[in-house]
């Protein structure tokens, strides 16, 4: 079969690498892709939001399955467009992708169906938001309602900070239209865990847990980013926590979406906070996380195409989802200055070191093929993933592999997986 993957980041490279392992698949295309994906798939110069072109391409090339990796096209309704053209697509329709597309929607859903989350209020007027903030204890969390590349969340320690945050999100439109609405949320403390899941509208099967590192600098300092590294599984995600979440969060969310007439098919990403009072939902995403996919998918034993087709056809209950009994760590190599200002176009050396090495992966995120070779083309350039028998070995392997690759303004965090030592 022929598969088209929509997206251009490390997540899409991890998906492509998993799809490439399926004996069912004879040809992979990726739109628009990147230099790393281009080594295992044919990249086509169509943007992720060019829906008409993507549909035409899928029809002309008789694509059997389109996998939409990114949030923007999902929230924009690409799956609906593909299905309307009689094509098979993996990912939620527009009315279900709102789970990620609007934080106000997802918070209201959780409140309505009793899914545990932080207390909150939603505002579309900046003055009203400020008046509400004046009554609160601090710290508080401000969230832009819409998609903001994982960056539209501010933790404010004081009222002054919060007022500045409201101005930045709602008036200065720092995150564009994502800030037309604002969610003010109580601040929760605890460990964060990410759990990805496959969903077929009714049944949900969770993947192995992971933990992301959002901040740009060591010690969880600096600005929020798309994610600087991950490890899987999380040692803090115990069987007891899993049992609670399966009942009160995961299945409850799938049931709630179905009751709302928005059946969800695809991947739901649950961002959880493990508080003193039990797990709480921080956020939902309607797709694989990035860089979570880079540590979860290499550990999955199943044929990913089988699982995705079962989701589309509503027979996920037939799939025995299995993961390797090991661990994986991903260290993101970024361009120095990310996520604010950084230079691109530097030659990347040492990529050949990954050839033929089992358990080591170099997932491309911001790269481009040129006449000189592969160069940097984004803030997050590569995701270096390594497996090991346990988390400590996987971390040692990932950092060793991170040294195999060089480019001029290479930057990384040196403490990915620090929490492992506290488990």
Percent of the residues in the chain that have a pLDDT greater than 90, as a whole number? 93
pTM of the model: 0.94
205: in domain: yes
Q: How far is CA 7 from the centre of its chain?
A: 12
CA distances to 336, 351, 389, 405, 411 from 408, rounded to whole Å, are 9, 14, 33, 11, 9
Does residue 262 share a domain with residue 290?
Answer: yes
Q: What is the DSSP letter of 251?
A: H
φ, ψ for residue 102, nearest 5 deg: -135, 115
- Taking a C-beta distance cutoff of 8 angstroms, is the pair 345, 376 a contact? yes
b/e string for 292-331 if b means 16 or more Cβ within 10 A? Answer: bbbbbbbbbebbbbebbbbbbeeebeebebebeebbbbbb
pLDDT category, 320, cuts 50, 70, 90?
A: very high
Q: What is the distance in angstroms between the CA of the first residue and the CA of the last residue of the chain?
A: 44
Structural element, H or E, at residue 131: helix 126-133
Length of the chain equals: 423
φ, ψ for residue 13, nearest 5 deg: -65, -40
- Which among 158, 146, 142, 7 is positioned nearest to 69, based on CA atoms? 7
Q: In this predicted model, what pLDDT tens digit does every residue of 201-242 receive, in sequence order?
A: 999 999 999 999 999 999 999 988 989 999 999 999 999 999
SS3 68: strand
Q: How far is CA 297 from the centre of its chain?
A: 12
Does residue 202 share a domain with residue 172?
Answer: no
Mean pLDDT over 309-332 rounds to 98
| Structural domains of the chain, count | 3
pLDDT for residue 239: 96
Mean pLDDT over 120-146 rounds to 93
User: With 70 as the cut, is the pLDDT of residue 9 above it?
Assistant: yes
Could you count the other beta carbons within 10 Å of the beta carbon of residue 176? Answer: 12
105: in domain: no
Percent of the residues in the chain that have a pLDDT greater than 70, as a whole number? 100
Q: Which domain holds residue 48?
A: 2-95
For residue 345, what is the domain's CATH number?
3.30.470.20
120: in domain: no
User: With 90 as the cut, is the pLDDT of residue 115 above it?
Assistant: yes
Side-chain half-sphere of 341: how many Cα atoms within 13 Å?
Answer: 0
Does residue 264 share a domain with residue 317?
Answer: yes
393: in domain: yes
Chain mean pLDDT for the chain: 96
Q: In this predicted model, what pLDDT tens digit does every residue of 21-53 receive, in sequence order?
A: 999 999 999 999 999 999 999 999 999 999 999
For residue 153, what is the domain's CATH number?
3.30.1490.20
User: With 80 as the cut, is the pLDDT of residue 423 above it?
Assistant: no
- Which among 67, 44, 96, 78 is positioned nearest to 297, based on CA atoms? 67
pLDDT category, 150, cuts 50, 70, 90?
A: low
User: With 90 as the cut, is the pLDDT of residue 148 above it?
Assistant: no
Q: In this predicted model, what pLDDT tens digit does every residue of 251-300 receive, in sequence order?
A: 999 999 999 999 999 999 999 999 999 999 999 999 999 999 999 999 99
172: in domain: yes
Mean pLDDT over 237-251 rounds to 97
7: in domain: yes
Q: What's the Rg (C-alpha) of the chain?
A: 21
- Taking a C-beta distance cutoff of 8 angstroms, is the pair 385, 417 a contact? no
SS3 115: coil
- Which among 105, 63, 69, 107 is positioned nearest to 85, based on CA atoms? 63
Residue 307 and residue 33: Cα distance in Å, rounded?
Answer: 23
């Amino acid at each position: 079969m022929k598969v088209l993957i929509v997206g251009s980041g490390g997540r899409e490279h991890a998906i492509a690498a998993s799809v490439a392992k399926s004996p069912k698949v004879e040809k992979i295309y990726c739109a628009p892709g990147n230099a790393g994906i281009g080594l295992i798939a044919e990249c086509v110069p169509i943007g992720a939001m060019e829906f008409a072109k993507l549909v035409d391409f899928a029809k002309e090339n008789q694509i059997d399955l389109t996998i939409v990796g990114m949030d923007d096209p999902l929230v924009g309704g690409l799956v609906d467009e593909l299905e309307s053209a009689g094509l098979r697509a993996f990912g939620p329709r527009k009315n279900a992708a709102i789970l990620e597309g609007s934080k106000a929607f997802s918070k209201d859903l959780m409140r309505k169906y009793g899914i545990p989350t932080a207390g909150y209020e939603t505002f579309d007027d900046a003055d009203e938001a400020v008046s509400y903030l004046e009554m609160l204890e601090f710290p508080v969390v401000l969230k832009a309602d819409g998609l903001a590349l994982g960056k539209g969340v501010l933790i404010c320690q004081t009222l002054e900070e919060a007022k500045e945050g409201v101005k930045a999100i709602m008036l200065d439109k720092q995150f564009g239209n994502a800030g037309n609405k604002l969610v003010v949320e109580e601040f929760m403390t605890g460990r964060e865990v990410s759990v990805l899941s496959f969903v077929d509208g009714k049944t949900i099967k969770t993947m192995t847990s992971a933990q992301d590192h959002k901040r740009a600098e060591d010690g969880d300092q600096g600005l929020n980013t798309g994610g600087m590294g991950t490890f899987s599984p999380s040692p803090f995600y115990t069987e007891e926590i899993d049992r609670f979440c399966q009942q009160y969060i995961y299945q409850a969310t799938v049931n709630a979406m179905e009751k709302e007439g928005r059946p969800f098919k695809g991947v739901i990403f649950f961002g959880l906070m493990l508080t003193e009072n039990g797990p709480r939902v921080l956020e939902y995403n309607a797709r694989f996380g990035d860089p979570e996919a880079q540590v979860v998918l290499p550990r999955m034993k199943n044929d990913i195409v089988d699982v995705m087709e079962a989701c589309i056809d509503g027979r996920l209950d037939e799939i025995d989802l299995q993961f390797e009994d090991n661990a994986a760590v991903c260290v993101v190599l970024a361009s120095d200055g990310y996520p604010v200002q950084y230079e691109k176009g530097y030659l990347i050396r040492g990529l050949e070191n990954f050839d033929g090495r089992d358990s080591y992966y170099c997932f491309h995120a911001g790269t481009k093929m040129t006449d000189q070779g592969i160069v940097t083309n984004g803030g997050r350039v590569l995701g270096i993933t390594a497996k090991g028998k346990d988390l400590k070995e996987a971390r040692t392997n990932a950092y060793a592999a991170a040294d195999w690759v060089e480019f001029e303004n290479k930057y990384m965090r040196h403490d990915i997986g620090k929490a492992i030592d506290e488990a």
